[in-house]
Structure 1
C-alpha cells in the first residue's frame, strides 16, 4: 500500500491543482461505488472546498445524495486502465470493487472507501447550496492525504518511476502523465 501523510486542509488544493483525472468513491449503507471524473477543481481555501461534476442520473450521484459525502482520489499511471474501466460501466449493474479486485482502505471521517495506488486522497462532505438539480457537487474537504514519497515540504516531487505519476485524461482511452518539473523566476519586483 502507498504510504500516505495527512495534509493541512488549507493546502488540500495542492493535491490536484495540476489537473489530474480523479476517481470518486461513494457509499451509503451497504452499497458502494467508484467512478472516474475529469471535472474536479478546488473552489475555496478556508474552509477547503472542491467541486466535482457527477451526473445526477448516475449511481454514484444517488449514493452521494443519500450519504452527503464522497471521496476524491488522484490515480497513479499504474492504475490508468482501472481508471478507464470504472468509468465505462455502471455500479448499478455490477460491484466494480469485486469485478476489478480494487484494493481499498478505510477513510477516517466518511464511509466511502479510499483506493490504493493514488497520489492523493480527499474526504469530502457535501455542502447543500440549493443547486441539487445541477450536476455540480460542492464538498467541504474534511481530511486530505498525499503519497508520502512524492509530496514533500508542501509540494509534489514526482517520482522518476513513470508508473507513480499522476495522469490526465484526454478522450478515447488516451491519457498523459504528469511530466518533468521546471522553474522560472518572476520578473515582478516591488
Structure 2
C-alpha cells in the first residue's frame, strides 16, 4: 500500500466496486476490531455514494457494525488471495484477526474501523439503518463518507491493472478465486 493512499472524489467512489471484487469488511467498536471477507457486495447509488454488503448474523464483524454503525470496505489484491481466504476462514470471536494474520492497518479518516494495509481501495461507510433488510436478508447499506485508492492502480477515475499482483480478486467458492482480466476500450 502506498504511504499515502490518494483520496478518491465521492463522485467516483462507486467505481471502486463496479467490477464486482471480493472485499474485506472491517469494523471496530469499544476497543475491539475485526475483518471479514465478503464476496457479495455492490455499489448502489452515486449521490451520495452508497454500497451494499451481505454480513451474516453470526459474524463478529456484524456485531461490531451494529454497535458502531460504521464499517470499511477494502479491495484486496491477487497478492492477498491467501490472506483473504484466511480472513474468511476464521472467526474474530477467537481473537484479533489483524494480529493473528499479521495484517497491518491505517486509521480511517471518518470512521473508527481500520483500513487494511495492502489493499488497493478503501471506502469508509456509515450504516444506513434498514432493520427489516438487515434482519431478513443480512444486507447492510452504507453511505460512503470517504474513499481512497492506491494511485498506482486507480488514477483519473479509472482502474489501471498493469501488474497482475495488484489486480482485484473474485471468489468463486472452494478456495478458488479469479482475478480481474485485461482491460479494453470500445
Structure 1 length-normalised TM: 0.93
Please state if 1:152 is matched with 2:155: yes
Other structure's SS at 2:146 match: strand
Q: How far did residue 61 of structure 1 move?
A: 0.6
Q: How far did residue 57 of structure 1 move?
A: 2.1
8 A contact 2:130–2:140 mirrored in 1: no
Structure 1, unaligned runs of 5 or more: 185-190
Please state if 1:39 is matched with 2:34: no
Q: Hey, what's the Cα distance between the residues in 1 that align with 2:176 and 2:6? A: 30
Please state if 1:88 is matched with 2:89: yes
Please state if 1:142 is matched with 2:145: yes
8 A contact 2:81–2:169 mirrored in 1: yes
Q: Hey, what's the Cα distance between the residues in 2 that align with 1:54 and 1:104? A: 21
Aligned to 1:177: 179
CA deviations on 1:98-150 (whole Å, 9 max, x unpaired) are 11110110000101100111111000000112324130000000000111011
8 A contact 2:71–2:124 mirrored in 1: yes
Q: How far did residue 10 of structure 1 move?
A: 2.0
Aligned length: 183
Aligned to 1:10: 11
**Aligned Cα root-mean-square deviation (Å):** 1.0
Q: How does 1:1-190 map to 2 (within 5 A)?
A: 1-2=1-2, 3-131=4-132, 132-134=134-136, 135-159=138-162, 161-184=163-186
Q: How far did residue 93 of structure 1 move?
A: 1.1
Other structure's SS at 1:92 match: helix
Q: How far did residue 58 of structure 1 move?
A: 1.4
Q: Hey, what's the Cα distance between the residues in 1 that align with 2:89 and 2:181? A: 26
Other structure's SS at 1:125 match: strand
Q: Hey, what's the Cα distance between the residues in 2 that align with 1:155 and 1:55? A: 31
Structure 2, unaligned runs of 5 or more: none
